[in-house]
């Protein structure tokens, strides 16, 4: 099975030997591939729609993994019991939906007694939100999660950030919440490309408002100026190109 670069990056963050719960599994490609590689012993693949589950069931059957992958119809984590999974994967969803799933599944994600009566540690999270990254990172910070690893891949012209989190404390600066604490500290090469792309988009937007004089345009220019400032600051941290003088925009 040949996975996209995005899904390969997601797979890399799943701890070897862990029982996986794949939320919004779609075709069940990730749990199938991890099982075929011997990386995990079992998986629970869940989706909110019957259509994707039927496709997932067909793929699971094709690879004869029915005894190792449990398929469940579930909105988020609702069909998962505490202690059933060591890794919870939420990939390919928007930031707001990712946060909703985490919030509604809070009890499942807490350490406590599992359904078998045994002690159940909190699972690790592997997240690949496709929007509102700042809100996702702030949610983790405010709800007792610590980001332990981050990656970003560029595929078909799109940027995909992936993060791993475990129970713990962290304090994020505004810049870290926006761009990722570990991506910044690692001076991640794909983050540099992302910052350059973002800077160009912001500059084009600012240029389009250059001669507008409405209150709304003024407010938008101020917003763009603030975002450009954060972009430049992040670029300076990780050694990306771009400066205020080069931009010609203040």
How high does pLDDT run on average in the chain?
92
Tens place of pLDDT per residue across the chain (250 aa): 789 999 999 999 999 999 999 999 989 999 999 999 999 999 999 999 999 999 999 999 999 999 999 999 999 999 999 999 999 999 999 999 999 999 999 999 998 877 777 788 999 999 999 999 999 999 999 999 999 999 999 999 999 999 999 999 999 999 999 999 999 999 999 999 999 999 999 999 988 877 777 778 778 888 999 999 999 999 999 987 654 444 544 4
| Number of neighbouring beta carbons within 10 Å of residue 2 | 7
Domain chopping of the chain, boundaries: 5-171, 189-247
Per-residue pLDDT tens for 51-74?
Answer: 999 999 999 999 999 999 999 999
Segment holding 147, helix H or strand E:
strand 145-155
Contact 80, 22 (CB under 8 A): no
Rounded to whole angstroms, how far apart are CA atoms 188 and 154? 12
CA dihedral 9, 15, 21, 23 (to 10 degrees): -20
What is the reported pTM?
0.92
CATH of 5-171, one of 3.40.50.150, 3.40.30.10, 2.40.110.10, 3.40.718.10: 3.40.50.150
- Which tokens in the block code for residue 225? 């100026």
Contact 88, 125 (CB under 8 A): yes
């Amino acid at each position: 099975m040949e996975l996209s670069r995005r899904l390969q990056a997601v797979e890399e963050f799943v701890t070897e030997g862990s029982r996986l719960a794949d939320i919004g599994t779609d075709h069940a490609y990730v749990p199938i591939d991890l099982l075929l590689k011997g990386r995990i012993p079992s998986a629970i693949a869940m989706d909110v729609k019957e259509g994707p589950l039927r496709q997932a069931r067909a793929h699971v059957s094709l690879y004869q993994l029915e005894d190792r992958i449990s398929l469940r119809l579930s909105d988020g984590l609702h069909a998962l019991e505490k202690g059933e999974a060591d890794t919870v994967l939420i990939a390919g969803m928007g930031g707001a939906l990712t946060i909703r799933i985490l919030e509604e599944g809070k009890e499942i994600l807490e350490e406590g007694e599992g359904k078998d009566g045994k002690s159940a540690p909190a699972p690790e999270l592997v997240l690949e939100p496709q929007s509102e990254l700042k809100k996702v990172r702030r949610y983790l910070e405010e709800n007792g999660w610590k980001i332990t690893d981050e990656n970003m891949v560029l595929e078909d012209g799109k940027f995909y950030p992936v993060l791993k989190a475990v129970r713990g404390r962290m304090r994020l600066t505004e810049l870290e919440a926006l761009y990722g604490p570990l991506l910044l500290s690692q001076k991640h090469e794909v983050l540099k490309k992302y910052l350059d792309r973002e800077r160009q988009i912001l500059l084009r937007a600012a240029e389009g408002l250059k001669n507008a004089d409405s209150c709304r345009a003024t407010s938008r220019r101020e917003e763009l100026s603030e975002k450009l400032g954060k972009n430049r600051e992040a670029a300076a941290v990780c050694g990306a190109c771009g400066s205020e003088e080069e931009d010609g925009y203040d």
